[in-house]
């Protein structure tokens, strides 16, 4: 299943386009099926209706657990690193994980959960979170994991949208020096959620919680009442595996639906290839399991390949900015997969936190979530990878289930800030506003995918029309990603930002990511966000919000320096018309910049900022609004 040279990649890619069904059937053969498919693929993008491996029967947990027991039962499946470095880490072998999953699956059954029921999981980053996810999959219940930082209102919306029957939570969570009272938030949320019959509560922080008779039960009590024998439910390939709500960067979150067979094949295939995972290596993805990255590359992808996966409860800057590197050293991490927002934040602490930390176990580095600017790319490459580890800049979405455009480690020559080339099976196209395909190289347009792949979403939960409208109606017969993209002279892809964020300056289309990339090259800039605003002469002007801690000395001069930098990197056309120095940027809880809020501020319209429930720190918005008025 692993590709080992660029020639092999090219050959495989060609086969995957010429004979997609044959190609994916070959990949699917590497997994464990109770019964093989009757038909590999049937599809249309007009309804849309997409089916992979129709007629096949399987259970994803047999692929993630049972099939590794005979040869690798004692191999570590999960290494858990707690928030507090003084506390012990925990290692779960495949055998133990299997046992815990089966046991907890029986707890779910005992509490009335049946195949097809929806279960909301709102937990800290502890091994039991993975156990809960897999236990749902074991019995065919549909999990909906909600990131353990969302408010009661956001959780209630998600529970009601999916009509969840059971909630799995914990008393509380540790995050850096903060404690989050998870159960209390759930209690508030459930006031408006009549569908929920049971709440299973794990003890973690030992904060006092209220336990409602008849509804709330303890995890620790329940697991004593059941045994560890739980046969895996036989699932159809197209049965629902999970619902996951998008981060909400662009609007109201959507309940993206993934199904068992295709998702499994895609998560496993991309994991094994992109990161070039080797047996006995330790894989560390720093995302939260509450995001798709955690679903595919902490849980399902790695476990389906029998890998060792790290679950880290804490944050990169606690107790100090060396923590993430300490975790790499402690667990001899070989593959580190993180996000540009984390890299930029750690960069701002300089090199001191890395000094004396042994990072020599690292072999591959990965980035996901946002375009990675060149400055951050080089810093990551030189200081963490010691110029010796390929960086895979992986472009994908909640909706795509797994990585789509990305280098394959040791196979694809990389280029800073480029996601490079599509993985086998992925057929990207760039289209203009009218939906005409833009051919050739050295072009840019809106990124679409013109052929199905196994990991793609099947619907948005409870609202198929919304799925059709959002992804399949903008352009006929194509999946529309919502992202703008450039294909350079080498045919390499670079994501330039959301299409909504592309700025049209005097008829030139300029991607927000490109301008931010240039601004961030200026020494002293920590991070920046760029949006368009109405401009009398140019149509749209460029407004830059810049974090520059030492700008106060001479703000005007600093502004001019930044303009110089942008001119040098991109050209005078991309020079911001306004630069506002700020101390923070509005971000989603997954760490992405919410440009739509900044766009409102730049337009001077702050009356209706839209849905801001997924915002990390609303106070930042007030500060920016105040500064922008001056």
Residues at the site binding ligand ATP, with contacts judged by CB under 6 A? 246-250, 253, 292, 368-371, 393-398, 419, 481-483, 495, 498, 590, 592
- Please, which residue, 107 or 392, has the CB nearer to ligand ATP? 392
Nearer to ligand ATP, 83 or 420 (CB): 420
**In terms of CB distance, is 178 or 252 closer to ligand ATP?**
252
Cβ nearer to ligand ATP, comparing 176 with 251: 251
Report residue 444 as tokens: 């840019």
Residue 592 C-beta: closest distance to ligand ATP, Å: 5
> Please, what is the minimum distance in Å from the beta carbon of residue 3 to ligand ATP?
20
d(CA 199, CA 404): 37
* Contact indicator for 336, 284 with CB cutoff of 8 Å: yes
Minimum CB–partner distance for residue 418 and ligand ATP (Å)? 9
Residue 316 CA, distance from chain mean position: 17
CB 355 within 8 A of CB 501: no
Contact 377, 420 (CB under 8 A): no
Please state the closest distance from residue 423 (CB atom) to ligand ATP, in A. 13
- Taking the complex as a whole, the smallest distance from the CB of residue 569 to ligand ATP amounts, in Å, to 18
**Helix (H) or strand (E) run with residue 374 in it:** helix 374-379
The CB-based long-range contact list for 24-27 (8 Å cut-off, 24+ gap) reads 24/52, 24/265, 24/425, 24/454, 27/1, 27/265, 27/269
Q: How far is the CB of 52 from ligand ATP (least distance, A)?
A: 20
Contact (CB, 8 A) for 547 and 344: no
The answer to whether residues 380 and 367 touch, using CB atoms and an 8 Å cutoff, is yes
Q: How far is the CB of 419 from ligand ATP (least distance, A)?
A: 5
Nearer to ligand ATP, 166 or 495 (CB): 495
In the complex, what is the shortest distance from the CB of residue 320 to ligand ATP, in angstroms, rounded to a whole number? 28
| Residue 277, CA distances (Å) to 170, 280, 281, 289 in order | 33, 9, 7, 20
Q: Which is nearer to ligand ATP, 293 or 558 (CB)?
A: 293
The Cα 457–Cα 471 span in angstroms is 10
Q: Two tokens at 3?
A: 């590709």
For CA atoms 452, 453, 454, 456, give the dihedral sign: negative
Tell me how far, at minimum, the Cβ of 84 lies from ligand ATP, in Å.
28
Cα angle, residue 6 at apex, residues 426 and 29 outer, rounded to 5°: 55
- The DSSP bridge pattern shows strands 443-449 and 479-487 to be antiparallel
Give the nearest distance from C-beta 143 to ligand ATP in angstroms: 17
Nearer to ligand ATP, 48 or 511 (CB): 511
Query: Which of residues 9 and 291 has its CB atom nearest to ligand ATP in the complex?
Result: 291
In the complex with ligand ATP, which residue's Cβ is closer, 100 or 398?
Answer: 398
Beta carbon of residue 471, minimum distance to ligand ATP (angstroms, whole number): 10
* Of the candidates 557, 559, 431, 571, the residue with the CA atom closest to the CA atom of residue 515: 571
Name the residue with tokens 């044959």: 22
Number of helices (H), then strands (E), belonging to the chain: the values are 20, 30
Backbone angles phi, psi at 93, to 5 degrees: -75, 170
């Amino acid at each position: 299943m692993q590709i080992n040279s660029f020639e092999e990649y090219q050959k495989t890619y060609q086969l995957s386009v010429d004979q997609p069904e044959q190609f994916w059937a070959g990949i699917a053969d590497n997994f464990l099926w109770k019964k093989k498919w009757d038909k590999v693929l049937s599809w249309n993008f007009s309804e849309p209706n997409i089916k992979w491996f129709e007629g096949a029967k399987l259970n994803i947990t047999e692929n993630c657990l049972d099939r590794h027991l005979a040869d690798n039962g004692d191999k570590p499946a999960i290494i858990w690193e707690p928030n507090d470095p003084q506390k012990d880490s925990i290692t779960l072998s495949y055998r133990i994980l299997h046992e815990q999953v089966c046991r907890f699956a029986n707890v779910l059954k005992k509490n009335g959960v049946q195949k097809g029921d929806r279960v909301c999981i709102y937990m800290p980053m502890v091994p039991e979170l993975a156990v809960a996810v897999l236990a749902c999959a074991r019995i065919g219940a549909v999990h909906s994991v909600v990131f353990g930082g969302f408010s009661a209102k956001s959780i209630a919306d998600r529970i009601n949208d999916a009509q969840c029957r059971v909630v799995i939570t914990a008393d509380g969570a540790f995050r850096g020096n903060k404690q989050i009272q998870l159960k209390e938030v759930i209690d508030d949320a459930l006031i408006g959620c009549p569908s929920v019959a049971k709440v299973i509560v794990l003890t973690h922080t030992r904060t006092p919680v209220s336990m409602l008779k008849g509804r709330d039960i303890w995890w620790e009590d329940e697991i004593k009442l059941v045994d560890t024998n739980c046969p895996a439910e036989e699932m159809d390939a197209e049965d629902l595996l999970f619902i996951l709500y998008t981060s909400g960067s662009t609007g109201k979150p959507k309940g993206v639906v993934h199904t068992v067979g295709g998702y499994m094949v895609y998560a496993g295939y991309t994991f094994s290839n992109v990161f070039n995972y080797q047996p006995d290596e330790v894989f560390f993805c720093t995302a939260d399991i509450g995001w798709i990255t955690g679903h595919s590359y902490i849980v399902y992808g790695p476990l389906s390949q029998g890998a060792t996966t790290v679950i880290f409860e804490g944050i990169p800057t606690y107790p100090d900015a060396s923590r993430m590197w300490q975790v790499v050293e402690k667990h001899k991490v070989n593959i580190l997969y993180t996000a540009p927002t984390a890299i930029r934040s750690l960069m701002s602490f300089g090199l001191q936190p890395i000094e004396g930390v042994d990072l020599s176990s690292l072999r591959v580095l990965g980035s996901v979530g946002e375009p990675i600017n060149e400055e951050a790319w080089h810093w990551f490459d030189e200081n963490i990878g010691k110029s010796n580890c390929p960086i895979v800049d992986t472009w994908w979405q909640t909706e795509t289930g797994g990585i789509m455009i990305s280098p394959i480690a040791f196979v694809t020559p990389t280029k800073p800030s480029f996601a490079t080339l599509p993985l086998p099976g992925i057929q990207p196209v760039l289209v203009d506003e009218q939906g005409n395909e833009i051919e050739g190289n050295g072009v840019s347009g809106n990124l679409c995918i013109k052929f199905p792949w196994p990991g793609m979403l099947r619907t948005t939960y409870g609202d198929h029309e919304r799925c059709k409208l959002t992804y399949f109606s903008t352009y006929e017969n194509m999946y529309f990603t919502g992202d703008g993209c450039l294909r350079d002279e080498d045919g390499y892809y670079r994501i330039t930002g959301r299409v909504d964020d592309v700025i049209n300056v005097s008829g030139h289309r300029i991607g927000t990511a490109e301008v931010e990339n240039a601004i961030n090259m200026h020494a002293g800039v920590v991070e920046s966000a760029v949006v368009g605003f109405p401009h009398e002469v140019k149509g749209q002007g460029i407004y830059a919000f810049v974090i520059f801690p030492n700008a106060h000395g001479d703000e005007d001069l600093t502004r001019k320096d930044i303009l110089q930098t942008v001119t040098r990197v991109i050209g005078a056309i991309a020079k911001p018309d306004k630069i506002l120095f700020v101390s923070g940027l509005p971000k989603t809880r997954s760490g992405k910049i919410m440009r739509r809020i900044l766009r409102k501020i730049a337009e001077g319209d702050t009356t209706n900022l839209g849905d801001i429930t997924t915002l990390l720190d609303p106070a930042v918005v007030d500060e920016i609004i105040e500064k922008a008025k001056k």
